[in-house]
Amino acid sequence: MRKRNRIIYWIATLWLALGMFSTGMVQLVKANEGVGGVESMTHLGYPIYLLTLLGGCKILGVIAILIPKFPVLKEWAYAGFFFILLGAIFSHIATGDAAKEILPALLLVVLMILSWYFRPTDRKIVPLIDESSVR
């Protein structure tokens, strides 16, 4: 079972990293087409300068998730990914986009949740107190 969890973790994490890195690069270079590109952002009503912030945060989040150690940083990266993707899903729904526009963000949310849930113990925050001793 432990091996299965590790395989699920790495598959989900690598696909998540690929998706977030690629969309982050599209946003950093301000490409017109592509998921999260200039056309998509203007369609959703967001200013173009937001692309630089989102793209940079995605690239830094991918680095944080892939490097060993730093469990608190990883938690922040997962939380940031969750809010970015939740915002994307909500924005597409609010503008009345078709399901095919929502699916990339929805897939990345599923991958992010799988990656977070199945992450190895050395990538988790260790509690300071023993929870079994608390009554």
Spell out the domain ranges in the chain.
2-117
* 132 contacts 22 by C-beta, under 8 angstroms: no
The sign of the torsion formed by the CA atoms of 126, 64, 109, 14 equals: negative
Q: Mean pLDDT across the chain, nearest whole number?
A: 89
pLDDT-derived band at 85, boundaries 50, 70, 90: very high
Mean pLDDT lowest among 60-74, 101-115, 116-130:
116-130
3-class DSSP assignment, residue 33: coil
pLDDT-derived band at 132, boundaries 50, 70, 90: low
